[in-house]
């Protein structure tokens, strides 16, 4: 969901087992994404929230799959990949995106896609939900996933 024109979705998390899986790169940005997701989960009435940290964005799909095996009703996947000087950015972004899509479809479980794929740190900070950020992608990932969970 893009920040410009993004809908404000309100859905209940009551009774749902929710995993928030976050990568460990770029601590300040990740702290903002996780905090935004947790705030939105609390506002949505979530009481069963399990937090897990993985090494990086590449590992998000496997952790999401494991969460599904453990009975998650919803998974929120949070990470950030910042473009560098090599094609590594493209490989990691594609693998994480395709992997999360595969888990979502194969397991029929909503996954909140909170993976920032940005050109620089400034773009990430603008989307991290920190004070002064123009967007809160952690919050938006929760809203989208809960909307899908309640749609089912």
User: Which residue numbers are catalytic?
Assistant: 88
Which DSSP category does 2 fall into? -
> What stretches of the chain show up as alpha helix (H) in DSSP?
27-43, 60-69, 88-107, 121-127, 137-151
Place of tokens 């919803």: 74
Handedness of CA 64, 70, 71, 73 (dihedral sign): negative
């Amino acid at each position: 969901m893009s920040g410009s024109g993004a809908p404000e979705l309100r859905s209940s998390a009551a009774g749902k087992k929710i995993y928030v899986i976050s990568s460990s790169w770029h601590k300040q940005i990740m702290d903002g994404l996780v905090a935004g997701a947790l705030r939105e989960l609390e506002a949505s009435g979530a009481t069963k929230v399990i937090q897990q940290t993985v090494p990086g964005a590449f590992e998000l799909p496997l952790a999401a799959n494991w969460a599904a095996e453990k009975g998650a009703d919803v998974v929120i996947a949070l990470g950030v990949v910042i473009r560098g000087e090599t094609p590594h950015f493209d490989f990691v972004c594609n693998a994480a995106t395709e992997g999360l899509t595969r888990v979502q479809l194969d397991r029929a479980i909503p996954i909140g896609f909170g993976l920032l794929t940005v050109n620089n740190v400034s773009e990430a900070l603008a989307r991290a939900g920190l004070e002064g950020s123009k967007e809160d992608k952690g919050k938006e990932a929760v809203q989208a996933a809960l909307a899908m969970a309640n749609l089912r």
